[in-house]
């Protein structure tokens, strides 16, 4: 049985700052509302949790405004004729010059579907060029229609792209020269392997169940102890590897929608191990994987029983009042709200604040914002209501749609038609080890942050009182990643304008996860850095990026040096836990919560 330390039972009703609709514990006595919820949840099982009403509203907005815009109609008709002329000219050039004919359109830099040399040969080149022109035309047709709301325009363009991605000639065995070449070379063995992979996946075995990466054995192996546990978090303190450590400890707050060990993967790419070896006393929160019992847990609970409980434990264990804190992804958003509340309440325990790919302004949240409107949220709330949480499979479906070219169609072609399945690595294993989100907390988060942007607008409440990001006056280190589609770096950059603080901002190569897991020695890594001092004119994101040279290498040493410069010097190394203050070691790292399925 698990040891719960300083832990009351799961709350039935928590302090909350949001309106009664999403936040109050459910009224299960209203049969009419229950009927609606159950109907919506049934529909969602066939739509990956996506509201068909939201989609219909977007297409209706676009179609009606296009029907009332004869000028736009003539424009896209002219573009259609122009593209037909370009394609006809390309066909003529191919007849005369063969493979040397110049293509009439190039794919976007991130589109690798037609990179195989076989696509330069007839008839495959004709299919690829026709598809790319069609894709470009649909983008022209779904954008720039006067009167269409920005959100509906983006939705219409997004779903048009999704439909076309499904019909790409690269997805079909006899339309893809790479598949044909592999089939002829192997005598069809590739198709047999692909069929075996398909049948294996169709048995509903999750990728994580098939992989050989296990937390505590292959990943999350940095030595440490669970030193505090309640029903939301386990707090891990890592064993020192140096004789002396920086006086101030470091608390790491990961996102609750992921397992914490993204920051402690294999020994060679573990950020936590790197910080321990650099001479820091590191603590990390490991969130519980919630189930139906957690349906009424609120955002305030995650602050109070997560971040604040961890800070209390760190202070009691180390005897040091001032603590460095770092938040990754949504954990950074949670930490920023907690830091603003601490500043409001004159709690000065935070020494510095680090934000790793974490947003506080959600006005431009990237493509994830496509799935956030009133219709979609009402639909999603009813899905979560039925089971008390959002299942990881439903969350994964939305993320895969954002990059369907790479995560859906190209993967299916590679595995099921070419018969090549990539070997599981630590990052892929972590990505497959998904978590759930509790109903009440996730509803609050989506409404108050993504839909209403309350934190940036000064309307967000913690423990019943407003918090202001301007009250954060700590030294801040922030990291954005160039190709991040979860927390776009330009959105992360906005914290410079919202905190009344000195901010050292780093923009690193890579995406939301790979850009953070960017250990020294990793090939092809680079970063740009900015030192902004409060009171100076605020920089423009685009202008700064284009005027700043990228430095080769990892940003990890830059952050470690920044933390050391803001620490008060070395102290004797600390063993995990402190029995005298009531925090004895409970279990070896990585603990039990990270193993919950």
Provide the annotated active-site residues. Answer: 329
The three-state secondary structure class of 216 is coil
Q: State how far the Cα of 12 lies from the Cα of 294, in Å rounded to an integer.
A: 9
Q: Is 451 exposed, middle or buried (0-12, 13-18, 19+ CB in 10 A)?
A: middle
Is residue 467 within 8 Å of 323, Cβ to Cβ? no
How far from 264 is each of 19, 193, 218, 454, CA to CA, in Å? 38, 34, 10, 32
Q: State how far the Cα of 88 lies from the Cα of 393, in Å rounded to an integer.
A: 45
For the chain, how far is it from start to end, CA to CA, in angstroms?
17
**Structure token pair of residue 283:** 């603590």
Closest Cα to residue 252, out of 242, 244, 264, 240? Answer: 264
At 531, which helix (H) or strand (E)? Answer: strand 526-532
DSSP label of 511: -
The DSSP-derived string for 181-213 is HHHHHHTTHHHHHHHHHHHHHHTT--HHHH---
Is residue 350 within 8 Å of 323, Cβ to Cβ? yes
Is residue 289 within 8 Å of 596, Cβ to Cβ? yes
**Structure token pair of residue 325:** 């804190």
Q: State how far the Cα of 298 lies from the Cα of 54, in Å rounded to an integer.
A: 27
What's the length of the chain? Answer: 597
| Torsion sign across C-alpha atoms 118, 140, 109, 394 | negative
**Structure token pair of residue 184:** 């002829």
Q: State how far the Cα of 478 lies from the Cα of 47, in Å rounded to an integer.
A: 37
Q: State how far the Cα of 295 lies from the Cα of 25, in Å rounded to an integer.
A: 8
Q: Is 156 exposed, middle or buried (0-12, 13-18, 19+ CB in 10 A)?
A: buried
How far from 145 is each of 72, 81, 493, 597, CA to CA, in Å? 7, 19, 30, 46
Q: State how far the Cα of 597 lies from the Cα of 588, in Å rounded to an integer.
A: 19
Q: Is 477 exposed, middle or buried (0-12, 13-18, 19+ CB in 10 A)?
A: buried
How far from 404 is each of 115, 158, 161, 327, 513, CA to CA, in Å? 17, 11, 9, 28, 18
How far from 545 is each of 361, 362, 516, CA to CA, in Å? 19, 21, 18
How far from 106 is each of 103, 115, 125, CA to CA, in Å? 7, 10, 11
How far from 46 is each of 40, 392, 402, CA to CA, in Å? 10, 16, 18
**Structure token pair of residue 550:** 């990228």
Residues 6+ apart with CB under 8 A from 591: 226, 229, 234, 236, 286
């Amino acid at each position: 049985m698990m040891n719960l330390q300083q832990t009351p039972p799961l709350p039935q009703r928590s302090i909350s700052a949001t309106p009664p609709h999403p936040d109050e514990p459910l009224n299960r006595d209203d049969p009419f509302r229950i009927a609606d919820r159950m109907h919506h949840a049934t529909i969602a099982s066939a739509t990956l949790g996506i509201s068909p009403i939201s989609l219909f509203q977007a297409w209706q907005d676009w179609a009606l405004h296009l029907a009332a815009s004869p000028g736009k109609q003539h424009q896209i008709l002219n573009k259609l004729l122009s593209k037909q002329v370009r394609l006809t000219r390309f066909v003529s050039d191919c007849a005369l010059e063969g493979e040397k004919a110049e293509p009439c359109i190039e794919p976007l830099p991130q589109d690798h579907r037609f990179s195989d040399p076989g696509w330069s040969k007839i008839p495959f080149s004709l299919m690829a060029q026709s598809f790319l022109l069609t894709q470009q035309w649909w983008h022209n047709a779904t954008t720039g229609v006067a009167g269409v709301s920005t959100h509906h325009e983006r939705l219409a363009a997004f779903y048009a792209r999704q439909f076309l991605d499904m019909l790409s000639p690269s997805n079909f065995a006899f339309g893809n020269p790479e598949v044909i070449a592999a089939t002829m070379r192997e005598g069809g063995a590739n198709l047999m392997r692909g069929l075996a992979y398909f049948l294996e996946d169709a048995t509903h075995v999750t990728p994580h169940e098939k992989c050989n990466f296990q937390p505590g054995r292959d990943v999350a192996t940095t030595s440490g102890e669970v030193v505090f546990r309640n029903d939301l978090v386990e707090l891990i303190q890592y064993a020192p590897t140096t004789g002396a450590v920086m006086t101030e400890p470091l608390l790491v707050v990961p996102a609750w929608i992921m397992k914490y060990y993204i920051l402690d993967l294999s020994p060679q790419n573990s950020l936590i191990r790197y910080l321990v070896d650099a001479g820091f006393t590191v603590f990390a929160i490991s969130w519980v994987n919630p189930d139906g019992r957690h349906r009424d847990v609120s955002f305030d609970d995650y602050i109070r029983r997560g971040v604040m409980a961890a800070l209390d434990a760190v202070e009691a264990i180390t005897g040091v009042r001032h603590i460095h804190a770092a938040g990754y992804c949504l954990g950074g958003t949670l930490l920023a709200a907690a830091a603003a509340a601490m500043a409001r309440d004159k709690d000065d325990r935070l020494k510095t604040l680090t934000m790793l790919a974490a947003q506080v302004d959600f006005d431009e949240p990237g493509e994830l914002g496509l799935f956030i409107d009133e219709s979609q949220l009402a639909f999603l709330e009813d899905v979560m209501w039925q089971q008390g949480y959002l299942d990881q499979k439903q969350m994964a479906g939305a993320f895969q749609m954002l990059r369907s070219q790479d995560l859906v169609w190209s993967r299916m072609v590679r595995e099921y038609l070419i018969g090549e399945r990539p070997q599981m690595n630590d990052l892929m294993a972590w990505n497959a080890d998904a978590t759930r989100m509790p109903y009440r907390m996730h509803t609050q988060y989506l409404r108050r942050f993504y839909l209403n942007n309350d934190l940036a607008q000064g309307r967000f409440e913690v423990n019943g009182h407003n918090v202001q990001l301007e009250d954060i006056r700590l030294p801040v280190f922030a990291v954005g990643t160039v190709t991040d589609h979860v927390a776009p770096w330009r959105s992360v950059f906005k914290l410079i304008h919202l905190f009344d603080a000195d901010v050292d901002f780093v923009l690193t190569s890579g995406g939301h996860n790979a850009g953070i897991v960017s250990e020294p020695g990793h090939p092809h890594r680079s970063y740009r850095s900015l030192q902004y001092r409060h009171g100076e004119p605020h920089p423009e994101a685009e202008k700064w990026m284009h005027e700043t040279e990228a430095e080769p290498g990892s940003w990890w040493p830059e952050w470690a040096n920044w933390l050391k410069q803001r620490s008060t010097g070395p102290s004797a190394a600390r063993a995990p836990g402190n029995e005298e203050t009531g925090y004895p070691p409970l279990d070896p790292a990585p603990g039990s919560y990270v193993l919950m399925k």
